[in-house]
Amino acid sequence: MALETALANLCESLKALHGMLDNLRVMVTEDAPQRGRVALVGQVGEEVSELLGLTEGCLNDALESQRAAAQPYDPNQMRRSLVASQKQFHCLPQILFSRLLNYEQISSLVQFGLQHGPEWMAWVDLLREGLDNCRLAIEGVDDAYFQCWQEIGERLIAGPVSVHTTNIGQQITADALESLDAARQGVT
């Protein structure tokens, strides 16, 4: 896989994650039942919005890295942008797993859904499904970052290939060979 392809895959993976998180944000903030709304729902909305903002930053930096990998090739800018993107990305799984998909949070959401009726329970089920899909998408983005760094490493090891031809030595003609034979035989 070429570096340009790996960066394009990364950008597409981040766009897909962004789309999932935006749909999740709409579901949490706008599609949640209005009756019985509590602080727990607002907290989930804030966490999803934070994930969405981080993903936007990751995507912007990844797109900058992709532009730097194109012509004219700017390897330093490409690397800096990719590092910035991945640095932000490292916060996403931490937030998802420690704040949204941890046992206590899921248990609280399920209890809330059970206590507030079938409408809220359906919402909790959709939320859990959406969060689980985001977990899978984050794993895909993580793999895409790995592919980018692998391509950069291979490019560094292989280095640029340049072919330069030169003529070294002398051209020997039939006349030169005859003169050489004559000189060996002592004929001048």
Is 77:19 a contact under the CB 8 Å cutoff?
no
Q: What is the pLDDT of residue 98?
A: 92
Q: Are 130 and 27 in contact (CB under 8 A)?
A: yes
97 belongs to a structural domain: yes
- pLDDT given at position 57: 97
Q: What is the pLDDT along the chain (188 residues), one digit of tens a residue?
A: 699 999 999 999 999 999 999 999 999 888 878 776 678 888 888 999 999 999 999 999 999 999 999 888 898 999 999 999 999 999 999 999 999 988 998 898 899 889 888 998 999 999 999 999 999 999 999 999 999 999 998 888 876 555 556 666 666 666 766 776 777 776 65
Residue 178 lies in a domain: no
**How many structural domains is the chain composed of?**
1
Q: Is residue 176 part of a domain?
A: no
Is residue 58 a part of any domain in this protein?
A: yes
Residue 166 lies in a domain: no
Output the domain CATH number for residue 78: 1.20.120
- The whole-number pLDDT of residue 183 equals 72
On whether the CB atoms of residues 54 and 91 are closer than 8 A, the answer is: yes
Q: Is residue 20 part of a domain?
A: yes
Q: What is the pLDDT of residue 14?
A: 97
pLDDT confidence of residue 41: 82
Cβ atoms 62, 136 nearer than 8 A: no
Rounded to whole angstroms, the Cα distance separating 66 from 77 reads 10
Contact 145/88 with Cβ under 8 angstroms?
no
Residue range of the domain that includes 138: 3-161
User: Which single residue is written with the structure tokens 């209005």?
Assistant: 34
pLDDT at position 172 is: 62
The reported pLDDT for the residue numbered 39 is: 80
185: in domain: no
